[in-house]
Chains A and B, each alone.
Chain A
Amino acid sequence: MSAELRIAHLRKVFATGKPAVDDVSFTIAAGEIVVLLGPSGCGKTTTLRCVAGLEHPTDGEISLAGEPISAPARGILMPPRLRNIGMVFQSYAVWPHMTVRENVAYPLKSRGLSRADQDRRIADALALVDLGGYADRPVTQLSGGQMQRVALARSMVYEPRLLLLDEPLSNLDAQLRLRLRDDLRRIVKKAGLTALYVTHDQTEAVVLGDRIGVMRDGKLLQMASPEEVYNRPADLFVAAFTGASNFIPGQVTARDGEFGAVRTADGATLRAWMPQGVVPGANVQVAVRPENIRFTEAAGSENRVTAKVTAQRYLGMQTSYDLSVFGATIEGIEVGTAVRYPVGSEVTVALPPESCWAYAASADDARAMTPH
């Protein structure tokens, strides 16, 4: 039953001001899970609510299984109840005046199913989310995680064509969030549903999504597999948002294919991957994840330099060092419980070129990108 979702040139403008969603286009294949990732106010929830039919798009077209469901230009706007979509809300939105069973049964009531058919589907849905024994409990007696699973069962019981999830884990405590995160993917995949998932949590996005779409200021910046988003971020913002918190300013001196040379402030040369459009002479910021900096690399590896340790933070399972190198201060992380380099000492580090990404940008851009 799951269907392909196609969004083309979606725009949504509230009252006056900047558009909340600005020319967003993507397609989710049947059975695929796509996660929209971005900071609050980036337009990801608005996009989701447009797909649900709870918001009316200003422009663009949304179609499900080839059939347009929102197309303002053509006057098409299917009400949510006819879209046959499932949705899990951030606040769970389980109805407190009903039992677990009544909550899950509610969507079936308007679908003209036989009594036996309804019962079977309710039992299946509750079994799928591991709530088989809770059918007759009032939902107010459940824990947050259980309520969220009731919401999930309710949204899947009628085999919707598409499942929408709006930050479904953000109201749970950290431990429960981890467990439910893994459960969610398993359950959705088992039901074979097409799913659109919205979150601001990178780890959640990586674990859950077949593909991740990173949004900012209403625009979709990159949509790709988690590995690609993490290893080949489309721009400085995507790199920063996914955790590349080191920025080394420099100027491109040469380019060969996907890689090139960058001269940094201290005159050294750094070999880095470059997206298209970065040409020799351009001012760039080279983004590096702290986890990708290698300590005491054997001679012969590229971008191998000596750095000075200026600060040290012991975190138990790992140690974070501030390193003065390439005319900048960057953070490097070494995994392990031992602290090996005291402040003031010199250490040899290597920055693998495939983990150094040079983006055309000014220093201010880079600073603005850094979360926290």
Chain B
Amino acid sequence: MSQGARFRPAKLIAGLWSAALLIILTFLVLYPTAMLLVGALTNMNPVVDGYHPEAISISSFIDVLSNENVHFALGNTLVACAGGTAVAVIIGLFFAWIVVRTNTPWKGLIATAGMLPLFVPPLVAGVGWALLGSPKTGLINTFLARAGIEWRIDLYSMSGIIFVFGMYYAPYVYMFTASALRNMDPSLEEAAEISGATPFRTIFTITFPLIAPAIISGMLLSFVVMLGIYGIPAVLGAPANIPVLTTYIFQLTAWTPPEYSKAAAVALILMVATGALVALQQKVLSGRSYTTVAGKAFRPRSLNLGPWRFLTLALAIIYLLVVVVLPTLALIVAAFRRFLFIRDVASLFDMKQYGLLHFQRLFENPATMTSIYNTMKVGIITAVIGGILAFAIGYTVTRTQAPARRWIDIIATIPVAIPGLVIGVAYLWAWIGMPFGFYGSIWILALAFVARFMPDTVKALSASLMQIHKELEEAAWICGRGTLATIRTIVLPLARPGVVAAMTLLFILAIRELGSSLFLYSSSTVVMAVKLLDYYEGGNVGLTAAFSLVQMVILGVLIGITNLLTRGAANSSVGRAG
């Protein structure tokens, strides 16, 4: 009895703490999601009409479901994502095999190059490939014409979207399959070889079936990321009138008057599809993994390719060229050249044609600097708030017996299944009709980002918290410290590298985010990614290319610093958000 009485205040505090976290999470995640649902089930405009709970009905949602334009966008989305995923699987699996299982020279370089596309923002990739492969003025087509070749490429097409999707999201398949191959007991393959199977037969009857869970899970992840991408289909699909769900949602909100409820309904479709695929991926991942059966470290087998190893090296170099070098070169040419018209190859190297004109115009426009300033501000707010919140959630979930900690964990994980664009629409619905000017402020962007990236941040922080042995804390308690003093003197100092890494990761994710910003910015809170899209849609190629380069440099420098700080821990997570 007396013991129970002594612990009651601690229990009360723990309860209050859990309640506070739940309220914050409700505000950040549950309320906007619920408002998205409300929006999908009405046909009102919250700006004009305000919110009317009595207007909720299923009929408007059914109207959207039976709308032909929605069907068209959904069909395009599925074709683009399925095609892109197929390309990504072929490329990703091939590179995983080359890096882990062959004696191809410069494997380390190939492994690094295989991850590079993750760092290119989708909009920048789209712009780069539009410069290279647009049907009339694309640089590649200019070269083909000068060379007297009839054939032309056209990236403004479904196959163009599939190609760029596949190229840039292959790293997801690569990451999963390479580690599965690395962890596979080599004697499983040796046994096949001894049994009389040719190397080819061994790959298709033993190796690939064994890593099937990794292949499927990489496949599903890349499909999910493609579903939520706005930049690539916006640039490559718009000229050829190929709407996908993401671009269609944005179109709906850009019309006058904006069709907010229809956008919410389509966003809901996108969210349900994403959620289902993420759930499926989790199931595949948690299912029985064949590759860890023996559970010990292996020296992976390396196949001697003989002279063929130069072919695999050449393919890797071609991939690097296509994914990184060519688009970057195109951006550089377009950014520094006064006019993109290129008469012949000699003119390409005519230095008189180059100058800093576009950069001057870029920085003369005050909106550019404002957008960079806004981006940094949003990034810092996101990193600080998101980092603190993720630490609180991670500590509560992994280290305490606080009530409802399971629910806290589940709610904090929900955004994994919500594409950024959908979060944007949900926040729009949640706040646009509210009076106190939260919508249109820099804070709504930051909070949307905090919500969007919470699962990644919490996961990263929980991992570093779990490395701190529980006994280190218990020792501090025994020494007479309270919970807060223990966190301050023991946990925080030990977890600091993890906290710093999580915060810088958040910062980088926030400054490159486009999808959710699209619906939440106002003229005074425009961020870099949105401004870039603005320049692109304004038709100014030189300005767009120059700003793309500026953003790539900013990102490159920040990612470099992050890598130095965290020794590569952030690499795998940066691209997850797409």
Chain A residues in contact with chain B, CB under 8 A?
A: 52, 54, 79-87, 89-91, 93-97, 106-107, 109-111, 140, 151, 154-155, 158
- Cross-chain contact B193 with A81 (CB below 8 angstroms): yes
- Cross-chain contact B197 with A93 (CB below 8 angstroms): no
Q: Does B191 contact A (CB under 8 A)?
A: yes
Q: A97-B212, A110-B201 given as contacts; is B290 within 8 A of A90 (CB)? A: no
Q: A95-B206, A96-B290 given as contacts; is B198 within 8 A of A154 (CB)? A: no
Residue on B with the closest CB to A56?
A: B304
Interface hits, B75-100 → A, CB 8 Å: none
**Which B residues lie within 8 Å of A90 (CB)?**
187
Residue on B with the closest CB to A91?
A: B294
Q: A54-B193, A91-B187, A97-B212 given as contacts; is B294 within 8 A of A81 (CB)? A: no
Contacts A/B (CB < 8 Å), 6 sampled: A52-B190, A96-B210, A97-B209, A107-B196, A107-B197, A154-B191
Say which residue of B187, B194, B206 sits within 8 Å of A81 (CB atoms): B194
Q: Does B112 contact A (CB under 8 A)?
A: no
**Which B residues lie within 8 Å of A95 (CB)?**
188, 191-192, 206, 210
Measured in the bound complex, the distance between the Cα atoms of B196 and A158 in whole Å is 10
Chain B residues in contact with chain A, CB under 8 A?
A: 185, 187-188, 190-198, 201, 205-206, 209-210, 212, 288, 290, 293-294
Q: How near does chain A come to B190, taking the closest CB pair, in angstroms? A: 5
Measured in the bound complex, the distance between the Cα atoms of B190 and A85 in whole Å is 12
**Which B residues lie within 8 Å of A81 (CB)?**
193-198
Among A81, A109, A111, chain B packs the most CB atoms within 10 A around the CB of: A81
Measured in the bound complex, the distance between the Cα atoms of B296 and A91 in whole Å is 10
**Which B residues lie within 8 Å of A158 (CB)?**
195-196
- Cross-chain contact B212 with A96 (CB below 8 angstroms): no
Q: A96-B293, A97-B290 given as contacts; is B187 within 8 A of A107 (CB)? A: no
- Cross-chain contact A80 with B193 (CB below 8 angstroms): yes
Residue on A with the closest CB to B194?
A: A87
Q: How near does chain B come to A234, taking the closest CB pair, in angstroms? A: 32
**Which A residues lie within 8 Å of B293 (CB)?**
96, 140
- Cross-chain contact B194 with A52 (CB below 8 angstroms): yes
- Cross-chain contact A140 with B288 (CB below 8 angstroms): yes
**Which A residues lie within 8 Å of B210 (CB)?**
95-97
**Which A residues lie within 8 Å of B190 (CB)?**
52, 54, 80, 87, 89, 93
Q: A89-B187, A155-B194 are in contact. List 15 more A-B contacts (CB 8 A).
A: A54-B193, A81-B197, A87-B191, A90-B187, A91-B294, A93-B187, A95-B188, A95-B192, A95-B206, A95-B210, A96-B293, A106-B205, A107-B195, A107-B197, A158-B195
- Cross-chain contact B194 with A85 (CB below 8 angstroms): yes
Q: How near does chain A come to B291, taking the closest CB pair, in angstroms? A: 9
- Cross-chain contact A80 with B194 (CB below 8 angstroms): yes
Say which residue of A96, A111, A140 sits within 8 Å of B196 (CB atoms): A111
- Cross-chain contact A106 with B197 (CB below 8 angstroms): yes
Say which residue of B192, B198, B294 sits within 8 Å of A106 (CB atoms): B192
Q: How near does chain A come to B197, taking the closest CB pair, in angstroms? A: 6
Measured in the bound complex, the distance between the Cα atoms of B187 and A90 in whole Å is 9
Measured in the bound complex, the distance between the Cα atoms of B194 and A110 in whole Å is 11
Q: How near does chain A come to B289, taking the closest CB pair, in angstroms? A: 9
**Which A residues lie within 8 Å of B185 (CB)?**
91, 93
**Which A residues lie within 8 Å of B187 (CB)?**
89-91, 93
Say which residue of A87, A97, A110 sits within 8 Å of B197 (CB atoms): A110
- Cross-chain contact B195 with A93 (CB below 8 angstroms): no
Measured in the bound complex, the distance between the Cα atoms of B187 and A157 in whole Å is 19
Q: How near does chain A come to B68, taking the closest CB pair, in angstroms? A: 44
Q: How near does chain A come to B210, taking the closest CB pair, in angstroms? A: 6
**Which B residues lie within 8 Å of A97 (CB)?**
209-210, 212, 290
- Cross-chain contact A86 with B194 (CB below 8 angstroms): yes
Residue on A with the closest CB to B212?
A: A97
Residue on B with the closest CB to A96?
A: B290
Q: How near does chain A come to B106, taking the closest CB pair, in angstroms? A: 19
**Which B residues lie within 8 Å of A96 (CB)?**
210, 290, 293
Q: How near does chain B come to A45, taking the closest CB pair, in angstroms? A: 11
9 closest Cβ contacts across the A-B interface? A107-B195, A93-B187, A93-B191, A89-B187, A110-B196, A96-B290, A87-B194, A81-B196, A80-B193
Measured in the bound complex, the distance between the Cα atoms of B195 and A107 in whole Å is 5
Residue on A with the closest CB to B288?
A: A140
Residue on A with the closest CB to B206?
A: A95
Measured in the bound complex, the distance between the Cα atoms of B191 and A109 in whole Å is 14
Among A79, A93, A140, chain B packs the most CB atoms within 10 A around the CB of: A93
**Which B residues lie within 8 Å of A84 (CB)?**
196
Residue on A with the closest CB to B193?
A: A80
Among B191, B288, B290, B294, chain A packs the most CB atoms within 10 A around the CB of: B191
**Which B residues lie within 8 Å of A110 (CB)?**
195-198, 201
Q: How near does chain A come to B286, taking the closest CB pair, in angstroms? A: 16
Measured in the bound complex, the distance between the Cα atoms of B288 and A66 in whole Å is 46
Q: How near does chain A come to B408, taking the closest CB pair, in angstroms? A: 36
Measured in the bound complex, the distance between the Cα atoms of B201 and A300 in whole Å is 72
**Which A residues lie within 8 Å of B191 (CB)?**
87, 89, 93-95, 151, 154
**Which B residues lie within 8 Å of A94 (CB)?**
191
Residue on B with the closest CB to A88?
A: B191
Among B188, B206, B210, chain A packs the most CB atoms within 10 A around the CB of: B188
Q: How near does chain B come to A358, taking the closest CB pair, in angstroms? A: 43
Measured in the bound complex, the distance between the Cα atoms of B71 and A66 in whole Å is 71
Q: How near does chain B come to A13, taking the closest CB pair, in angstroms? A: 17
**Which B residues lie within 8 Å of A140 (CB)?**
288, 293
Measured in the bound complex, the distance between the Cα atoms of B197 and A184 in whole Å is 26
**Which B residues lie within 8 Å of A82 (CB)?**
196
Say which residue of B195, B290, B294 sits within 8 Å of A154 (CB atoms): B195
**Which B residues lie within 8 Å of A54 (CB)?**
190, 193-194
Measured in the bound complex, the distance between the Cα atoms of B209 and A91 in whole Å is 19
Residue on B with the closest CB to A157?
A: B195
Measured in the bound complex, the distance between the Cα atoms of B195 and A151 in whole Å is 11
Measured in the bound complex, the distance between the Cα atoms of B287 and A140 in whole Å is 13
Measured in the bound complex, the distance between the Cα atoms of B187 and A111 in whole Å is 21
**Which B residues lie within 8 Å of A155 (CB)?**
194
**Which B residues lie within 8 Å of A79 (CB)?**
193
Q: A110-B201, A140-B288 given as contacts; is B196 within 8 A of A93 (CB)? A: no
Measured in the bound complex, the distance between the Cα atoms of B198 and A76 in whole Å is 19
Measured in the bound complex, the distance between the Cα atoms of B195 and A169 in whole Å is 21
Q: How near does chain B come to A139, taking the closest CB pair, in angstroms? A: 10
Q: How near does chain B come to A334, taking the closest CB pair, in angstroms? A: 42
Q: How near does chain B come to A279, taking the closest CB pair, in angstroms? A: 47
**Which B residues lie within 8 Å of A86 (CB)?**
194
Q: How near does chain A come to B502, taking the closest CB pair, in angstroms? A: 36
Q: How near does chain A come to B207, taking the closest CB pair, in angstroms? A: 10
Measured in the bound complex, the distance between the Cα atoms of B325 and A46 in whole Å is 45
**Which B residues lie within 8 Å of A83 (CB)?**
194
**Which A residues lie within 8 Å of B201 (CB)?**
110
Measured in the bound complex, the distance between the Cα atoms of B294 and A96 in whole Å is 11
**Which B residues lie within 8 Å of A106 (CB)?**
192, 195, 197, 205
Q: How near does chain B come to A32, taking the closest CB pair, in angstroms? A: 21
Among B187, B195, B205, chain A packs the most CB atoms within 10 A around the CB of: B195
Residue on B with the closest CB to A160?
A: B194
**Which B residues lie within 8 Å of A154 (CB)?**
191, 195
**Which A residues lie within 8 Å of B206 (CB)?**
95
**Which A residues lie within 8 Å of B193 (CB)?**
54, 79-81
**Which A residues lie within 8 Å of B205 (CB)?**
106
Measured in the bound complex, the distance between the Cα atoms of B192 and A199 in whole Å is 23
**Which A residues lie within 8 Å of B198 (CB)?**
81, 110
**Which A residues lie within 8 Å of B212 (CB)?**
97
Q: How near does chain B come to A82, taking the closest CB pair, in angstroms? A: 8
Q: How near does chain A come to B182, taking the closest CB pair, in angstroms? A: 16
Q: How near does chain B come to A96, taking the closest CB pair, in angstroms? A: 4
Residue on B with the closest CB to A84?
A: B196
**Which A residues lie within 8 Å of B209 (CB)?**
97
Q: How near does chain B come to A149, taking the closest CB pair, in angstroms? A: 15
Among A84, A107, A140, chain B packs the most CB atoms within 10 A around the CB of: A107
Measured in the bound complex, the distance between the Cα atoms of B187 and A87 in whole Å is 10
**Which A residues lie within 8 Å of B192 (CB)?**
95, 106
